[in-house]
Amino acid sequence: MTSPLLPALRGEQTSHTPVWFMRQAGRSLPEYRELRAGTAMLDACRDPELVSEITLQPVRRHGVDAAIFFSDIVVPLQAAGVDVEIVPGRGPVIANPIRSRAEVDALPELEPDMIPDIAESIGRVTAELGRSTPLIGFAGAPFTLASYLIEGGPSKNHEKTKSLMVSEPDTFSRLLAKLARISSTFLDVQLSAGASAYQLFDSWAGYLSRRDYEAHVLEHSSAVFDSLGHHEVPSIHFGVQTGELLSSMSRAGSTAVGVDFRVDLADASTRVQPGQPLQGNLDPALLFAPWEALAPRVEQIVRQGLEHEAGFVFNLGHGVLPDTDPEVPGKIVDEVHRVSAEILAA
């Protein structure tokens, strides 16, 4: 069965709705925990054999319609020379945070020849997947990467980031422009090596007001999508808690918009650009509910998504939680396929 992902993102009719899950590879899978044991996260991300195996694990187990490249948004920063580590249970920690104009200017650029392993990993994965299952590449959006660099690690309130944004807007803009180039290069390498779609994650954009997002962030995310236009592959723009930002984010230039679980898909449908497909948006916490309670919620999202005529991809409204029962995502895949095929055949 050929994956309906790329046709759905092009707005074409499909026989059923495509489904994949953010963080489908990772700690919810026992086979992942086994393979990762003893290897630091960022070392695993630079090992093509591990990367290809981990990327394929959820495809085999859940029967999803796409693989997402196993990597991390901070991999290109590390490759460029930033001292960063992923601390388990916490997230990326930066040894020397960037807060001044001089520190921004000293941040190195990323060159494609610094990440030959990424091209090799993508080549291995696409060879294994064959033509039937597409590989989705990804990168962090400039604002989310900037927050890690400025705060020095995960932040609850992003206060240092916002302070720099309003007190030194030129320095902030220079940093985001540089991060846009780094993410573009990271994605360009993935797409040149065979990834057939990509998602830009702006996980922390939802902490911004719409005014600040439009004044300080939007143009830099747009620059990423613009720089990759020549690949002619579909793209998805996603952020958490971005209901208020959805129409602004939808103008950055992506093919589709990812919707967080707090937003009703019918509302999201009115906020994006005409002809723009939606992706989303089952609450990842609901995967802990008994199947009898979960199945109707899956069906409801499929029905709402299919009412959005521009195209729909089923996903969660954020990543799979680490303690999720690894049997549940596959049941959701089957249910999405069954319900959508019924609706589309009627």
Is residue 24 marked as binding? Answer: yes
Catalytic residue list contains 36: yes
Is residue 318 marked as binding? Answer: yes
Q: CA–CA distance from 276 to each of 19, 22, 150, 258, 266 (Å)?
A: 17, 20, 33, 10, 14
73 versus 301: smaller Cβ distance to ligand CP3: 73
Other beta carbons within 10 Å of 109: 11
Cα separation of 52 and 39, whole Å? 15
Strands (E) across the chain are located at 67-68, 84-87, 91-94, 135-140, 197-201, 235-238, 256-258, 278-282, 312-316
296 versus 322: smaller Cβ distance to ligand CP3: 322
Is residue 72 marked as binding? Answer: yes
Q: Which amino acid is at 201?
A: F
Catalytic residue list contains 198: no
Cβ contact 106:112 at 8 Å: no
Other beta carbons within 10 Å of 190: 26
Shortest CB 21 distance to ligand CP3, Å: 7
Site residues, ligand CP3 (CB under 6 A): 22-27, 36, 41, 68, 70, 72-73, 86, 88-92, 138, 201, 203, 240, 319
Is residue 337 marked as binding? Answer: no
201 versus 339: smaller Cβ distance to ligand CP3: 201
Catalytic residue list contains 174: no
Helix axes 169-192, 159-167, angle to 10 degrees: 120
Catalytic residue among 72, 188, 202, 260: 72
| Tally of CA atoms within 13 A in the half-sphere of 205 that contains its CB | 35
Give CA 231 to chain center in angstroms: 18
Shortest CB 142 distance to ligand CP3, Å: 13
Shortest CB 91 distance to ligand CP3, Å: 3
Shortest CB 44 distance to ligand CP3, Å: 8
Structure tokens at 79: 């490759």
| Tally of CA atoms within 13 A in the half-sphere of 263 that contains its CB | 31
Catalytic residue list contains 72: yes
Shortest CB 36 distance to ligand CP3, Å: 5
94 versus 339: smaller Cβ distance to ligand CP3: 94
What lies within 8 Å, CB to CB, of 206 at 6+ separation is 239, 240, 241, 242, 243, 244, 245, 260
Is residue 26 marked as binding? Answer: yes
224 versus 240: smaller Cβ distance to ligand CP3: 240
Cα separation of 321 and 29, whole Å? 11
Shortest CB 165 distance to ligand CP3, Å: 19
Is residue 148 marked as binding? Answer: yes
Is residue 113 marked as binding? Answer: no
The closest alpha carbon to 344, from 8, 65, 64, 17, belongs to 17
75 versus 114: smaller Cβ distance to ligand CP3: 75
Catalytic residue among 32, 148, 198, 213: 148
Catalytic residue list contains 148: yes
Q: Which residues are annotated as a binding site for substrate?
A: 23-27, 72, 148, 203, 318
Catalytic residues: 23, 27, 36, 72, 148
Q: Which residues are annotated as a binding site?
A: 23-27, 72, 148, 203, 318
